[in-house]
Each structure stands twice: as structure tokens, then as C-alpha cells.
Amino acid sequence: MTDATPDPYATPLVFGQRMQILRQRRGMARVVLAGLVGKSPSWLKRVENGQLQNPGLEMILRIAEALRVSDLAELTGRSSMQVDFFTGPGHPRLAAVRDAVNRFPISSDQPAPSAGHIRARLGHAWSDRHSAPNHREVVGALHPGIIGDAQLAVWQAESGAERRATQAALSEVYSLSQFFLAYQPEPALLWRVAERGIVAAQESEDPHTIGVAAWLTAQAHRDSGPSHFDAADAVTVSPLRHLEPLLPDADDDVRAITGALQFEAGYTAARRGDAGAAWRYWDQAEKTAKAPPADYFHPVTSFSHAVMGAHAVTVAVELRSGTESVRQAARAEATAIPSRPRRARHRIEQARGYQLDGQPEAALATLDQAYEAAPETIRYNGYARRIVLEETEAALPDRRRRASELAAKIGLLTA
């Protein structure tokens, strides 16, 4: 006799039982999941109890998205449906990045570069990432060398001021690492990097560095599911309390990371279904975005006046409002976003809005635009993969063909 939650994969459980176990493991109430997939709680209960037949592929995909199920086989129990949504394929440079993170130099015959030198290299790395369609390839090629140098610089720092400066640079290197590791099949490595980034940021005592590390860690918590939303809020609200009093005399970078954190709080609220809090935080972030010059663009978070339209689309999509998503998508000008990967991410959010609004043709066309902006963004994005797979089963032959062509381009059929 045990009180442990049963393993949904140890015995051949039916779909409804698997869905119930996965929902409970996520800490998600039945009424919440029902709302996310557009069904009533009573319908969901009957599916879980086996009183209704398994839903069709479209609904299975929506349930998988809502539960953040990475592999469809976990939900269906069918190995023939092994499709990873929220974990993309391992990048060819993943092993080298992993080795660089795991290696921790504490001595060297060579003097370490200065914090200023590392920051200059980081500036080039962020610029290259934003301008490249294959941004993971770019970051993966640069990362091993820069992380080793940053770790060594911290070790060789001789004064308190030098140590704080090198810790700030190292924390930003870990931030760059997280952009490479996101949605790859190395969750433990991603968390290790996030935690190291937080520790280095705290050691730096730099408000901007602390904000950046918190911004990325909040995303990691939120993407872990509803049971981690409180942790996401905690890691967002605490640095906001530290940063907001500094705003009257702050530089543009501190204002930007404050605005980025304000939006992250709204993003988590939208995931919860709290529309009032989500839009309230978005309003705060928009006001913060107006303080820097019109052409300002934060290199890590992409926070800017231009990106607020994209953020509005995300809030509407997470609140499952198709009509509002499309309205916000029409207002947001994607071409104003200078970053190719961020522009592609915005296109994916627009596609989610079109899908919610019952416009699958527009969704596929927008995903094509995302692919043109940055193929490596759509290739690793679970929402895009779900929409494409769903449309390969469309009733209309032309739509099936278009979705199948896109599935082949992003590597979904061979992942």
C-alpha cells in the first residue's frame, strides 16, 4: 500500500487516466484545464473517468499544450505518437556548451581577460544573436570560449570592485547560455546555469545584473508548470521592489530590465487566467518602455517600446482570447522589432492568436513568416510545432500540404 501518485507509464492506462495523473502532477485544477482547452469541467471529468471516448487529435494537441506535455506519447500511451513539443532537438553544439558549463577553471598559466574585455565580447555576441537567423548556432560557437574566460576572470580578481565587475560579466554569460539551452533536451543543465547566474548576480551587487538573472529564472519557473507559478512570482516581485525605487535616477538599462520584469509578472498572471493583473502589469511595463529613447533596445530581454505590441499579443493569447489576440496582432508591427529571433517569436504568438480565432490559414502563413525571420526559433518552439502538426491533419488538402511542407522544413517529421 502506498500513497504515491501512480506512474502513468508503468501500466497501460487509458487516455483519461493519463490526462488526470498528468494534470494533478502539474497542480492544475480540472476547471483550469477545461478553460484552457475550451471545454466544460464536466466534459473533462467524463473523459478522465472514461465515460467519453478519447477526443480527436486537435483536442489531444490542445490538452498536451495546456499541460505542457513534452512528448505526446506520455499523454496517449502510444509510442507511435512520440512527438516532442516543448523540447526541441538537441543542437549540434550542445555537447560543447555542456562541457564548457561543466568545466570550472580555477587556475591557468594565462592571465584572465578583464571584465571590460568580456563585456565587449558579450556585446558582440548579443548583436550577432539578434541579427542571425541561426542564432543558436552563433551563440553555441561563441559560448565555450567566453564562459571559460569569464569563470577564470572571477577566480583571478584581486580586489572587491574587480570581483564584483567580473561576477556581473559572468552572470551575463550565463544569461547568454540560457538562450542557447532553452527548449533543448537538457533541463538539468538549464537549471544549473540559471542558478549560477543568480548567484553571480547577487555577488555582483549590480541592480541591472540582478534584474536580468531574475528575469530569466522567472521564465524557467513559469515554464515548469502551474505548480511553479508562485516561484515565478517570487523571483519577479522581489527584484522589482529593489529596482522600482531606483528608477528616477536610473539609466536606460535599469529601466528596461524593470519593465521586462513588470511584463514577466503580467505574463505569469495571464498563464493563471488573471486578466486584470495581466493587463495591469502590461500597462506598467508600457509606461516604463516610454522612458528610454524611441530607438532603445535592451540586448538581453529585447525590451523596448517596439516590443510592447508583441507582449500584448502574448497576454491575449495566454488568456485564450482569440478575438483580442487578433486585434492586438493587427496593432503590433513586427518589422519594428530589430531582433530576428524575437521577431520570429512574435510571429509564432500571432499564429497562436489566429489559431485560437479559428483562422488556421492565417496561422500557417504567419508561421511561414516566423521561419523566414529565424528558422531556429520556430524549430525549437513547442507552440509552433503543435499548430503545424495539428494542421497536417486538416480536412482541406491544400492546408494539409502547406502544413506538411512547413513540418518538413522545421524538422518536425524527423525529430
User: What's the rounded Cα separation, in Å, for the pair 169 and 177?
Assistant: 13
The percentage of residues in the chain with a pLDDT greater than 70, rounded to a whole number, is 93
State residue 36's pLDDT score.
Answer: 81
pLDDT above 60 for 80: no
pLDDT above 70 for 4: no
User: What's the rounded Cα separation, in Å, for the pair 265 and 285?
Assistant: 10
Lowest-confidence range among 33-47, 206-220, 253-267? Answer: 33-47
**For 67-80, what is the mean pLDDT?**
75
Q: Which residue has the higher pLDDT, 21 or 372?
A: 372
With bands split at pLDDT 50, 70 and 90, how would you rate the model's confidence at 108?
low
15-81 fold: 434 Repressor (Amino-terminal Domain) (1.10.260)
- The region that residue 27 occupies, defined by phi over 0 for left and psi between -120 and 50 for alpha, beta otherwise, is left
Contacts 24+ apart (CB under 8 A), 138-143: 139/176, 139/179, 139/180, 140/91, 140/92, 140/93, 140/94, 140/96, 140/97, 140/180, 141/93, 143/93, 143/96, 143/97, 143/100, 143/173, 143/176, 143/177, 143/180
pLDDT above 70 for 5: no
pLDDT above 80 for 413: no
State residue 318's pLDDT score.
Answer: 94
State residue 289's pLDDT score.
Answer: 96
* 198 CB-near residues (< 8 Å, 6+ apart): 171, 213, 214, 217
User: What's the rounded Cα separation, in Å, for the pair 213 and 236?
Assistant: 10
With bands split at pLDDT 50, 70 and 90, how would you rate the model's confidence at 415?
very low
pLDDT above 90 for 89: no
State residue 83's pLDDT score.
Answer: 57
pLDDT above 60 for 51: yes
State residue 359's pLDDT score.
Answer: 95
Q: Compute the mean pLDDT over every residue in the chain, rounded to the nearest whole number.
A: 89
Helix, strand, coil percentages (3-state) for the chain, rounded to 5, are 70, 0, 30
**pTM of the entire structure?**
0.83
pLDDT above 90 for 147: yes
State residue 386's pLDDT score.
Answer: 87
How do residues 167-191 score in pLDDT, each as one tens digit?
999 999 999 999 999 988 888 999 9
How do residues 216-268 score in pLDDT, each as one tens digit?
999 999 988 888 999 999 999 999 999 999 999 999 999 999 999 999 999 99
* Start and end residues for every CATH 1.10.260.40 domain found in the chain: 15-81
With bands split at pLDDT 50, 70 and 90, how would you rate the model's confidence at 104?
confident
pLDDT above 70 for 12: no
With bands split at pLDDT 50, 70 and 90, how would you rate the model's confidence at 205?
very high
pLDDT above 50 for 10: no
How do residues 287-338 score in pLDDT, each as one tens digit?
999 999 999 999 999 999 999 999 999 999 999 898 999 999 988 887 789 9
State residue 132's pLDDT score.
Answer: 95
State residue 368's pLDDT score.
Answer: 96
State residue 336's pLDDT score.
Answer: 86
How do residues 386-398 score in pLDDT, each as one tens digit?
899 888 888 899 9
